[in-house]
């Protein structure tokens, strides 16, 4: 991805009783997000956690979603009007509270 782009990542924590429905996320939530965010959303990536760093350790996160935008302003303008709808869909695929990070792509 291009240096300087903005990457908004949602980390869904692993833990006892934590759930994440990858099928719903990829086939319902992501298409909804793409449709609502429109052209401001330059790219979207989804990771499924499978392991931690130590042998037989669980992955820290069940899943991570990454959304790429050209700038913070483009992200805010695209996301703001639809934040409520996107957040309201969360209980349909997870019982966790995601950790959110906004990053600048270095390389």
Q: Which residues bind a second copy (CB under 8 A)?
A: 1, 7, 9, 11, 22, 26, 30, 44-54, 59-61, 63-64, 98-107
Q: Which is nearer to a second copy, 54 or 88 (CB)?
A: 54
| Minimum distance of a second copy from residue 19's CB (angstroms) | 16
CA dist 13 and 31 (Å) reads: 22
Q: Which is nearer to a second copy, 17 or 56 (CB)?
A: 56
| Residue 66: Cβ-neighbour burial (10 angstroms; 0-12, 13-18, 19+) | middle
Q: Which is nearer to a second copy, 36 or 60 (CB)?
A: 60
| Minimum distance of a second copy from residue 106's CB (angstroms) | 4
Which of 107, 80, 106, 105 has its CA nearest to residue 8? Answer: 105
Q: Kindly report the number of other CB atoms within 10 A of residue 65's CB atom.
A: 19
């Amino acid at each position: 991805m291009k240096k300087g782009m903005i990457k908004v990542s949602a980390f869904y924590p692993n833990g006892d009783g934590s759930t994440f429905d990858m099928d719903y996320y990829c086939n319902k939530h992501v298409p909804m997000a793409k449709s609502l965010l429109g052209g401001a959303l330059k790219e979207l990536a989804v990771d499924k956690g499978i392991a931690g760093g130590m042998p037989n350790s669980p992955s820290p996160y069940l899943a991570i979603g990454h959304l790429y935008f050209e700038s913070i302003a483009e992200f805010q303008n695209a996301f703001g009007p639809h934040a409520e709808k996107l957040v309201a869909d969360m209980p349909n695929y997870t019982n966790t509270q995601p950790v959110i990070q906004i990053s600048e792509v270095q390389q």
